[in-house]
Structure 1
Amino acid sequence: MGRILTGAAMALALVGALSGAALAQQPTEVRIGVALEPPILDPTAGAAEAIDIVVYQNIFEGLTAIDENGAVQPGLASSWTISDDSLTYTFKLHEGVTFHDGTSFDADDVKFTFDRILAADSVNAHKELYTDIAEAKVVDPFTISFTLSKPVGLFLFNLGRGDAVIVAPESADNNATTPIGTGPFAFVQWDKGNRVLLERYEPYWGTLPALSKATYLFIGDTAAMTSALLAGDIDGTNNFAPDSLAVFEGNPQFKVLVGTTEGETILGTNNRKPPFDNLKVRQAMAHALDRQAIIDGATFGYGTPIGAPFAPHNAYYVDLTGTYPYDPAAAKALLAEAGYPDGFSATLKLPPLGYARLSGQIIASQFAAVGIKLELINVEFAQWLQDVYTNHDFDLTIISHVEPFDIGNYANPDYYFGYDNPDFQALIKTLNETVDDAKRKELAIEAQTILAKDAVNGYLFELAQTGVWNAKLAGMWQNSPIEGLVLRGIHWVE
C-alpha cells in the first residue's frame, strides 16, 4: 500500500508540484536604477554616498548595523558590554563568518580594520569619528575590546556607518575595485559606466536574503530613468526626481515610497557678518519664511518641514516649526526694531542643485515682501565649496546637510555659518560624552531648541526619499537614516 497513491493523494501531489513550479518561477533577481556611479567600491576610502548605495550592508558589514529607523542593531558583533565609566566596549563576535573569498573572520580582522582607519596614512573620509579609540585589543579570536580616551555617546552608531565596515588584510588593498566583505551579497563585476552586479553569498553567516542577484544600473538622466521604469528594464529606484513622480502615482504597476532622509535643507546664514549677527534680523527672516510654499514649489510637495537641524525620523527629533511661524507683519516689526525699517539688501549664493535654486527664487519673493532684497547668484559646486564653505564669503546660501547627527557642527565657530555660542558648545560636549540614551535625548532636544530660538539658519525642510518600485516588490526602506540601499529585506510578492 505504501507504493500506491490514491486518487486524492495523486491530486494533492499534483497541486504541490504545481505550487512548487509557481514558486520556482517567482523572480529572485532585482535591477535597480541609481543616478550616480560610485567612484570606488570601498566605503572606508571615499566619502561619496554612491559607494554606500551599492555596498553598505550588502557587500560589507560593521560590528553594528543601522536599521531603517536609525537605531543601532547587532551586526558582526552579536552582543557587547560597556564599562561603568563608558570607556571600554567589549564585543562578542559571531563565529563561523567568512569573507567572500573564503577567508575566516575573527577579532584580528576587526583590529586590522580600526588600526587601518587610524593610521597616519589613512584615507578614511571620517577618520575623526574614531580618533577617540585609544586601543583596540584582541581578547580572544571572537572577542575584541575598545578603550576610549573619553566617553563617546555615538560610538555604537559610528561603528555601524559605512566608514567602519570590517575588511580583511588579505583583500583590503583591492576593495576599491574588487570589494570583498562578509555581507549577504558578493561582488561579481563592475562594468564601469553601466552597472555593478552582485550575487547572493550562499555561505552567508546570517539569514539568507530572498534575492539571488542584484544589478545596479547607472542612469543619470531623469527621462532615461523614467523610460527604463516604464519599459520594465529596471525594477525600481530608491530616489526618483520629485518633479516627475506624477507619471507613476496612481499607476497600479508601481508603488511610490515617500520617506525622509538625513538631508536638512537650510537657508545658510553668515552669523559672523552684519546684519546677520543681529538676532532680531535672523528672527525676522525666520518669520518671513513660508515653509510650505517653499516645499510645494521646490520639492513638489515632498519635503517635510523642520524647525531645527534634525531629521524627523530620528528618535531625538522635536517639532520646533512653530518657534517662528510664518508672519510677515512680525518680520517687518523685528526688522524695524533691529534698525532696518526699510529692510536691507543681501546676496544669496546658490549651488547647482534643483531644490536650492528653486527654493532661492521662492525665498527671494517672500523676503521682498518684508523689505529684504536678495540678489541671486548661481555658482558651480566647486565655487560654492570655495566661496561659502571654505572662505565664508557669502551672506546667505541654500544647502542640504546630509550627514547623520551633524548638529555638532554648530559647536564649531569656524564652521561656515559662524555660530559662536559657548553655552551651546558646552552642551554639545556633554552630549558627545553622554552614553545614557534617555539623557542623550534630553540634551539633543535642548540643543535643537537653542538653535531654533537663535534662528541660526533658516530651517526649511527635510529632503524626501522618493522611491519608485515595481508594485510586486516589498521590503525596501522608506526612510534613509544613513547612506545606503539595503537589499537584505527586498523580495517579490504575488
Structure 2
Amino acid sequence: MKKHLAKLMGAVLIMSAFTGCAPSAPAETEGNITQVKPATLIIGSTSEPRTLNPYLFPSRQDAIVTNMVFDNFVQPDENGEIEGSLVKDYSISEDNLVYTFNLHEGVKWHDGETFDGDDVVATFEMMANPNYTGGVSRVSDIVGVEEYAAAILEGEPDPSISGITLSDDKMSLEVTLQEPSAAFLPGLYVSILPEHKIAEFDIAKLDEEIFNSKPVGTGPYKLDNWEVGTQITVTKNPEYFKGEPSIDNIIVKFGDMVALTTQLEVGDIDLLEVDKDGYATFDGNPDFAIQTYPTSSVNYVGFRTGAGRAEDTRDYRAVYEVEIRQALAYAIDEAKLVDAAYGISGYVHDSIFPKGSLGDSQNDTQYTQDLEKAKSLIESKGYTMGGDGFYEKDGQVLEVELMYAESSTQIAEILKEQWSKVGVDATIKMLDFGALIDELTRKSDKDGNLAINGTNYDETTLATDACFDAYLLGFAQESDPNEYAQYFTNDDSWNFYHYHNPEVEVLFADQAKAVDQTERKAILNEISEHLSHDLPWYTYGGVNEIVVTRSDLSGYTPDARGYTMDAHEWKLGE
C-alpha cells in the first residue's frame, strides 16, 4: 500500500521528476479540510537484514534499519570523538575509574513507555549475562560483572552489578571500573533496549525472540512492517527527543544491484549505495547527487586456521598451514583486484586496522604479488605439481573453497583466477549475506554437537564452530580498535577462525588498559604485525562508499558511522 502510494504521489506532483517518493503536498480537499499526503523515501539495499535486534551479531546491513529504530548510549561524532546520544553529558574521575552519565529526559519508547536508567542497567546486565551469546559484550571492565554472572548461573533471584549505581530519579548512572580502560567509553557505542522488553526475554534463546523482527526503540523511526524478502517500512516518531523527522515514511527495498540501479534511474527508489559502475551511471546527471565518504573499514579474506569440535570441522585443511595462507596472499595482485572490484572508490590496504587509524602499522608483512614465492611456500609443505596444473600431496589436490555474498562476486572470481596461477584449485560458493553470517557463527558444544533445531547439545559449552576454508567480508570499526579483540582472542562468539596466538591475546589485553595513546598505538601496531604474518585475515583493500540520491534530498551527510545515522535530519523537496 505505502509503496504504491509513493509511486502515485510522483505522478500527481508534476513538479517532481521522481515517482519513488515526493515531498509532503496537498492531495485533495474535502470541504475546508486539506488532506496532506505523507512524504516517503525509498532506500535500495542489496541485502536484507538478518535481524533488527542490535544485540544479535549486528551487521552493516542490519544497521541500515536499526540506526533509525534505536538510539545509542554514546556514539562517535563525524570526527570520531565520543559524544552523548541518550546520554546528555558525562564526566570521568581523575583516576579514570568512575564514569558518571546523565541521561536525556523526556525520551519515550515507541510503545509509549518512558525511557530512564532502568533501561540502561537492564541492557548492561543483558550483556553481562553468561547466557547471552549475541556477540556484543562491552561491560566486562565494570566492577562486579563477574560476580553478577556467577549469581545468574547459581540461580540467585534479581542479582545486580555492584559497579553500577542508579540515582533516585533514575536519570544518572555512576559506573566504576576495575582498572582504567582505554576501550570502555568507546565500547559503549551500543543501542539501548527497553527494560520492560528485556524482562520478557529468555536470554539463552535470544535469537528466537519476537523482538528481533518487531523491535521497540527510542529512535526517530518506528518499525511499521517487514515484508520478508521484499522490504522494511519504518514510520516517523513524532515524539523523537532530538526533533520530529521531516520524512514520514522510509522504505528499505531489497533487490540485486542491477535491478536497483535501474529503479533509481527511473525514480522508483531514491537512495542507493552503488559500486563503480553505478558511479559511472549517475556521474554528471543533475537529477541525482553523488556522495562519496570514507569508512573505517577493511575488506579481507578470512581463513580458518585450525580444526574445530564438530565432526565436519575436524578434518585437515590446507589453509591450516600458515605457509599456504601466505602463498595465497602472494598470489594476489592487490592493485588489479581493488581496481576491478571498486574502481574509483577503492584503495590497496594491508593492515587489519583501517587506513590511518591508531592501529594501522607501516611494518606489516607486505604481500606484493610474487607467484614464484607463492609456489615455493606451497612446495615447502610437501606439495608437487600435478599434470592438471594443480598442486597435489598424498593423492589430494590442493583445494580451497571460498564463500562470499553477492556483492563480492567479482572479487571471488578474480581470486579464483589468481590462485589457479599458483596451482591452487579454488571453488567459489555464493551465499545470501544472512546465510554467510549464519555459516560463520554456527556453534557446537564441547562434544561437537551442533546447536541446531532438533539436536541435543549442551548450551553451557557452546562456542562458534564454523566449517569453511575461506570467505570474503568487510569489517567496519565502529568506534575503537578493541572491537577487533573478539575476533582474534579466545572469544566464544566471534573467533570462528579457530585462531590462537598467546602473544596476540596478551597484547589485546594490554592495549585495552593503555590510556596513553602513544603507548596504545605501539601495542596495536604490534598486533597488526603479528596478524599480517599469521593471516587469519588477509586484508587487501578498503573502499570509500558511494551513495546516490535524488538531487532534492537535503540534510543528508553520510559518514563512517553509516548512512542512516542522521535520517531524522533528512528533508525532501528542498
**TM-score w.r.t. structure 1 length?**
0.77
The letter for the 1-side match of 2:508 is I
The letter for the 2-side match of 1:111 is V
Deviation at 1:412, TM superposition (A): 3.8
Q: Does 1:292 align with 2:317?
A: no
**Residues 350 and 357 of structure 1 are in contact (CA less than 8 Å); yes or no, is this contact kept in structure 2?**
no
Rounded to whole Å, the distance in 1 between the matches of 2:117 and 2:466 is 44
Deviation at 1:205, TM superposition (A): 3.2
Deviation at 1:74, TM superposition (A): 1.3
- CA-to-aligned-CA distance 1:21-61 (integer Å, 9 cap, x gap): xx9979975332334444654434674544432232x3321
> Closer, same or farther in 2 for the Cα pair 1:210/1:233, shift >3 Å?
same
The partner residue of 2:262 within 216, 223, 227 is 227
The residue aligned with 1:350 is 402
The partner residue of 1:400 within 454, 461, 474 is 474
The letter for the 2-side match of 1:75 is S
Deviation at 1:97, TM superposition (A): 3.4
- CA-to-aligned-CA distance 1:112-139 (integer Å, 9 cap, x gap): 33234444665x7235333444322203
Structure 2 residue matching 1:115: 3-state secondary structure: helix
Q: Does 1:471 align with 2:514?
A: no
The partner residue of 2:418 within 366, 373, 382 is 366
**Residues 265 and 459 of structure 1 are in contact (CA less than 8 Å); yes or no, is this contact kept in structure 2?**
yes
The residue aligned with 1:3 is none
Q: Does 1:169 align with 2:196?
A: yes
**Residues 62 and 166 of structure 1 are in contact (CA less than 8 Å); yes or no, is this contact kept in structure 2?**
no
> Closer, same or farther in 2 for the Cα pair 1:388/1:294, shift >3 Å?
farther
The residue aligned with 2:35 is none
- The number of residues matched between the two structures is 463
The residue aligned with 1:251 is 285
Structure 1 residue matching 2:138: 3-state secondary structure: helix
Rounded to whole Å, the distance in 2 between the matches of 1:65 and 1:386 is 30
Q: Does 1:130 align with 2:131?
A: no
Deviation at 1:426, TM superposition (A): 0.9
> Closer, same or farther in 2 for the Cα pair 1:377/1:347, shift >3 Å?
farther
Deviation at 1:321, TM superposition (A): 7.6
Deviation at 1:430, TM superposition (A): 0.8
**Residues 35 and 220 of structure 1 are in contact (CA less than 8 Å); yes or no, is this contact kept in structure 2?**
yes
The letter for the 1-side match of 2:355 is P
The residue aligned with 1:205 is 241
Rounded to whole Å, the distance in 1 between the matches of 2:212 and 2:419 is 47
Q: Does 1:30 align with 2:41?
A: yes
Rounded to whole Å, the distance in 2 between the matches of 1:347 and 1:365 is 13
Rounded to whole Å, the distance in 1 between the matches of 2:562 and 2:95 is 29
Unaligned runs of 5+ in 1: 1-22
Rounded to whole Å, the distance in 1 between the matches of 2:361 and 2:572 is 36
**Residues 69 and 479 of structure 1 are in contact (CA less than 8 Å); yes or no, is this contact kept in structure 2?**
no
The partner residue of 1:80 within 79, 87, 90 is 90
> Closer, same or farther in 2 for the Cα pair 1:458/1:182, shift >3 Å?
closer
Q: Does 1:411 align with 2:489?
A: yes
Q: Does 1:105 align with 2:147?
A: no
Moved more, 376-385 or 280-289: 376-385
> Closer, same or farther in 2 for the Cα pair 1:441/1:486, shift >3 Å?
farther
The residue aligned with 1:266 is 300
> Closer, same or farther in 2 for the Cα pair 1:296/1:199, shift >3 Å?
same
The residue aligned with 1:426 is 506
Deviation at 1:450, TM superposition (A): 2.6
**Residues 404 and 472 of structure 2 are in contact (CA less than 8 Å); yes or no, is this contact kept in structure 1?**
no
- CA-to-aligned-CA distance 1:257-310 (integer Å, 9 cap, x gap): 334556533233344468656655554443332112112333455433220212
**Residues 404 and 428 of structure 2 are in contact (CA less than 8 Å); yes or no, is this contact kept in structure 1?**
no
The partner residue of 1:95 within 84, 105, 116 is 105
Moved more, 136-145 or 266-275: 266-275
Q: Does 1:159 align with 2:181?
A: no
**Residues 295 and 302 of structure 1 are in contact (CA less than 8 Å); yes or no, is this contact kept in structure 2?**
no
Deviation at 1:413, TM superposition (A): 9.3
The residue aligned with 1:11 is none
Deviation at 1:427, TM superposition (A): 0.6
Rounded to whole Å, the distance in 2 between the matches of 1:401 and 1:80 is 29
Rounded to whole Å, the distance in 1 between the matches of 2:424 and 2:55 is 45
The letter for the 1-side match of 2:114 is S
The letter for the 2-side match of 1:236 is L
The residue aligned with 2:31 is none
- CA-to-aligned-CA distance 1:434-488 (integer Å, 9 cap, x gap): 3444443332223213322444543222355332211232443544446955413
Rounded to whole Å, the distance in 1 between the matches of 2:190 and 2:382 is 47
Rounded to whole Å, the distance in 1 between the matches of 2:412 and 2:323 is 22
**Residues 303 and 536 of structure 2 are in contact (CA less than 8 Å); yes or no, is this contact kept in structure 1?**
yes
> Closer, same or farther in 2 for the Cα pair 1:43/1:121, shift >3 Å?
same
The letter for the 1-side match of 2:186 is F
Structure 1 runs (4+) greater than 6 angstroms displaced: 23-28, 336-341
The letter for the 1-side match of 2:427 is L
Q: Does 1:196 align with 2:233?
A: yes
**Residues 358 and 524 of structure 2 are in contact (CA less than 8 Å); yes or no, is this contact kept in structure 1?**
no
Rounded to whole Å, the distance in 2 between the matches of 1:282 and 1:171 is 43
> Closer, same or farther in 2 for the Cα pair 1:256/1:483, shift >3 Å?
closer
> Closer, same or farther in 2 for the Cα pair 1:116/1:189, shift >3 Å?
same
Deviation at 1:143, TM superposition (A): 1.4
> Closer, same or farther in 2 for the Cα pair 1:467/1:137, shift >3 Å?
same
**TM-score w.r.t. structure 2 length?**
0.67
The residue aligned with 2:460 is none
Rounded to whole Å, the distance in 1 between the matches of 2:69 and 2:126 is 19
> Closer, same or farther in 2 for the Cα pair 1:187/1:328, shift >3 Å?
same
Rounded to whole Å, the distance in 1 between the matches of 2:468 and 2:122 is 43
- Mapping for residues 106-121 of structure 1, pairs under 5 Å: 106-119=116-129
**Residues 404 and 473 of structure 2 are in contact (CA less than 8 Å); yes or no, is this contact kept in structure 1?**
no
Identity of aligned residues (%): 24
The partner residue of 1:62 within 67, 72, 78 is 72
Deviation at 1:167, TM superposition (A): 2.2
Q: Does 1:146 align with 2:175?
A: yes
Unaligned runs of 5+ in 2: 1-22, 27-37, 146-160, 201-209, 307-315, 393-397, 443-463
Rounded to whole Å, the distance in 2 between the matches of 1:74 and 1:413 is 29
The letter for the 2-side match of 1:153 is A
